[in-house]
């Protein structure tokens, strides 16, 4: 290496860290240690591991700390307090687990340290975004030319889709939101199913649309928006449909909804955070029939596809509408011909999310995506059957990867879930379904095996027995 005469001691330390790689070797051995013990550990951290986190709550350090000490703190105190999402027996929320090649690709991309805002900042990431856009459009069977913006998750993706829809609707009414804002604008009509996801409401609020402006359509027993209860639509309507109810996994009747919207000139956004993937697989595609007739879609790669966090995608049939809603310009930003990711999303500086998404899709291929999806669905059905055989009530039709489970009484359901969560063998969350507490089980990780399903069912039975014993 050349003379380091001009380097500060801080720089010298950092350069040495880069050149001798000991720090990276340490992180790697810690990561391997984590992976090697992952399946054997508690799925949810113990009370002791959580209590030990107080160590992190110190005053802002005034002086540097050696880098290997920083990593040691993370591993000794942080690792035990993680939730073992990738251990095969985590069924909380709708959280996937990163598949290995995606994780490895991300390690490499972290070293690249790219900013994905502009083509000019990172040609490789811009090209991978283009490739992923094309592949996703193909996998989901969306109209050719549909644009994709890569964001942190479906919450943001939905915001983008609805922003494009709102602007388009107002433009149709002769109103230019960009010039004249929302105050005094004609009111768009927003139509949601009563089971719309909370992030849709948040997106609407951020877009200047209040609760009282929303027309709510009743849902059926599975949580599907009832097409027969849809109000008359017109060209001022923004209709939000759902592919994958966050509790039951059910799908709104997209075909009927999109037909009605099309003929009225309304904009349809499909929240398909985890369920849009059903369209990528022959055996589940029927659930999303009519999908391609919508105008915008939101989907996560970090849920069903098992890419690492955080990769969400907004897809928009009308590329100009998305571009318009996300428009940005500055004297120092060249308006190039190339793909600039930030022009399709709210963010400017962005992580190179397309790298891990590309790696996931490239390594799985369509056949791998199908195999993954079919396994998730098969395990969900298995849970439904096995838990029913053990005397639990399964509250939903298991059409995808979600299972809602209850005991004989609401109190027993709650007590059983508390025991289940404490035991650490697996983890499920709680929800309220048709006014009744339910255990919400989502099969979303590639890592879940037949054995994991059996172990989890056994944990359910044990938890119920303990809850019963405690209550008598």
Ligand X SMILES: *Cc1c(COP(=O)(O)O)cnc(C)c1O
Pick from 400, 120, 148, 116: nearest CA to 277: 400
Question: According to CB under 6 A, which one of 122, 199, 416, 421 is a site residue for ligand X?
Answer: 199
Task: Give 466-472 contacts, CB < 8 A, sequence gap 24+.
Answer: 466/419, 467/412, 467/415, 467/416, 467/418, 467/419, 468/412, 470/415, 471/411, 471/412, 471/415
CB of 62 to ligand X, least distance (A): 37
Question: According to CB under 6 A, which one of 118, 273, 417, 463 is a site residue for ligand X?
Answer: 273
CB of 175 to ligand X, least distance (A): 28
* Shortest-Cβ-distance residue relative to ligand X: 153
SS3 of 297-355: EEEECCCCCCCCCCCEEEEECCHHHHHHHCCCCCCCCCCCCCCCHHHHCCCCCCCCHHH
Beta strand pairing call for 312-316 and 296-300: antiparallel
Pick from 434, 304, 425: nearest CA to 369: 304
Q: Which two tokens stand for residue 339?
A: 């793909």
Question: 237 φ, ψ to 5°?
Answer: -95, 140
* Part in contact with ligand X (CB under 6 A); list of ranges 53-61, 148-156, 207-215, 260-268: 148-156
For residue 252, state whether it binds ligand X (rule: CB under 6 A): no
Question: According to CB under 6 A, which one of 92, 244, 308, 384 is a site residue for ligand X?
Answer: 244
For residue 246, state whether it binds ligand X (rule: CB under 6 A): yes
**CB of 252 or CB of 425, closer to ligand X:** 252
**CB of 198 or CB of 367, closer to ligand X:** 198
**CB of 122 or CB of 248, closer to ligand X:** 248
Residue pair 254/241 in contact (Cβ under 8 Å)? The answer is: yes
For residue 96, state whether it binds ligand X (rule: CB under 6 A): no
**CB of 197 or CB of 269, closer to ligand X:** 197
CB of 145 to ligand X, least distance (A): 25
For residue 166, state whether it binds ligand X (rule: CB under 6 A): no
For residue 155, state whether it binds ligand X (rule: CB under 6 A): yes
Question: 251 φ, ψ to 5°?
Answer: -115, 130
Residue pair 200/243 in contact (Cβ under 8 Å)? The answer is: no
CB of 115 to ligand X, least distance (A): 22
- Taken as a whole, the chain contains a residue count of 472
Residue pair 19/66 in contact (Cβ under 8 Å)? The answer is: no
Show the site string, 303-332: x = touches ligand X by CB under 6 A, - = not.
---------x--------------------
State the Cα–Cα distance between residues 307 and 244, nearest whole angstrom: 18
Question: 395 φ, ψ to 5°?
Answer: -90, -15
**CB of 240 or CB of 463, closer to ligand X:** 240
* Part in contact with ligand X (CB under 6 A); list of ranges 267-275, 339-347, 369-377, 427-435: 267-275
Pick from 370, 360, 448: nearest CA to 403: 448
**CB of 241 or CB of 325, closer to ligand X:** 241
Show the site string, 11-50: x = touches ligand X by CB under 6 A, - = not.
----------------------------------------
CB of 429 to ligand X, least distance (A): 12
**CB of 199 or CB of 284, closer to ligand X:** 199
Number of H helices, E strands in the chain: 14, 11
CB of 273 to ligand X, least distance (A): 3
* Part in contact with ligand X (CB under 6 A); list of ranges 34-42, 153-161, 174-182, 276-284: 153-161
CB of 27 to ligand X, least distance (A): 27
The footprint of ligand X on this chain (CB under 6 A) covers a number of residues equal to 13
State the Cα–Cα distance between residues 170 and 267, nearest whole angstrom: 11
CB of 63 to ligand X, least distance (A): 38
Question: According to CB under 6 A, which one of 92, 153, 346, 384 is a site residue for ligand X?
Answer: 153
Helix (H) or strand (E) holding 394: strand 393-394
CB of 69 to ligand X, least distance (A): 34
* Part in contact with ligand X (CB under 6 A); list of ranges 151-159, 224-232, 424-432, 464-472: 151-159
For residue 197, state whether it binds ligand X (rule: CB under 6 A): yes
Beta strand pairing call for 267-271 and 296-300: parallel
Question: 314 φ, ψ to 5°?
Answer: -100, 135
Residue pair 426/90 in contact (Cβ under 8 Å)? The answer is: yes
For residue 92, state whether it binds ligand X (rule: CB under 6 A): no
DSSP reduced 3-state for 431 = strand
DSSP state of 432: E
> Where on the chain is the footprint of ligand X (CB under 6 A)?
94, 153-155, 197, 199, 244, 246, 271, 273-274, 300, 312
């Amino acid at each position: 290496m050349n003379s380091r005469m001009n380097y500060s001691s801080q720089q010298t330390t950092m350069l040495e860290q880069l050149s001798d790689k000991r720090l990276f070797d340490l992180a790697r051995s810690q990561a391997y240690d984590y992976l090697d013990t992952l399946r054997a550990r508690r799925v949810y951290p113990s009370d002791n591991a959580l209590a030990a986190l107080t160590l992190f709550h110190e005053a802002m350090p005034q002086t540097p700390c050696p880098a290997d000490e920083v990593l040691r703190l993370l591993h000794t105190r942080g690792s035990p307090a993680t939730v073992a999402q990738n251990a095969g027996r985590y069924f909380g929320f709708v959280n996937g687990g990163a598949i290995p090649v995606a994780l490895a690709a991300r390690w490499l991309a972290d070293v690249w340290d790219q900013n994905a805002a502009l083509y000019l900042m990172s040609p490789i990431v811009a090209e991978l975004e283009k490739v992923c856009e094309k592949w996703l459009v193909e996998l989901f069977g969306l109209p050719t030319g549909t644009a994709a913006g890569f964001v942190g998750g479906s919450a943001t993706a939905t915001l983008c889709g609805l922003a494009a829809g709102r602007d388009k609707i107002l433009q149709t009414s002769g109103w230019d939101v960009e010039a004249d804002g929302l105050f005094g604008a004609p009111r768009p009509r927003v139509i949601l199913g009563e089971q719309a996801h909370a992030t849709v409401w948040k997106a609407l609020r951020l877009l200047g649309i209040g609760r009282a402006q929303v027309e709510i359509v009743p849902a059926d027993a599975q949580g599907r928006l009832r097409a027969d209860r849809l109000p008359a639509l017109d060209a001022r309507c923004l209709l939000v449909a759902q592919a994958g109810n966050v509790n039951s996994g059910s799908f709104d009747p997209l075909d009927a909804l999109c037909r009605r919207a099309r003929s009225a000139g309304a904009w349809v956004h499909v929240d398909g955070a985890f369920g849009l993937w059903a369209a990528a697989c022959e055996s589940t595609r029927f659930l999303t029939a009519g999908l391609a007739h919508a105008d915008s879609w939101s989907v996560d790669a970090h849920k069903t596809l098992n890419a690492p966090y955080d990769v969400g995608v907004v897809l928009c049939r009308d590329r100009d509408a998305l571009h318009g809603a996300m428009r940005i310009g500055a004297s120092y930003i060249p308006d190039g011909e190339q793909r600039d990711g930030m022009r399709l999303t709210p963010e400017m500086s962005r992580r190179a999310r397309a790298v891990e998404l590309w790696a996931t899709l490239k390594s799985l291929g369509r056949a791998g995506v199908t195999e993954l999806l079919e396994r998730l669905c098969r395990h969900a059905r298995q849970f439904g059957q096995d838990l029913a055989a053990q005397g639990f009530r399964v509250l939903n039709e298991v059409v995808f990867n979600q299972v809602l489970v209850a005991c004989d009484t609401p109190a027993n359901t709650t007590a059983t879930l508390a025991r289940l969560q404490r035991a650490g063998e697996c983890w499920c969350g709680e929800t309220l379904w048709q006014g009744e507490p339910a255990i919400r089980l989502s099969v979303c990780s590639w890592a879940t095996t037949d054995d994991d399903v059996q172990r989890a069912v056994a944990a359910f039975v044990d938890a119920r027995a303990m809850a019963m014993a405690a209550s008598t």
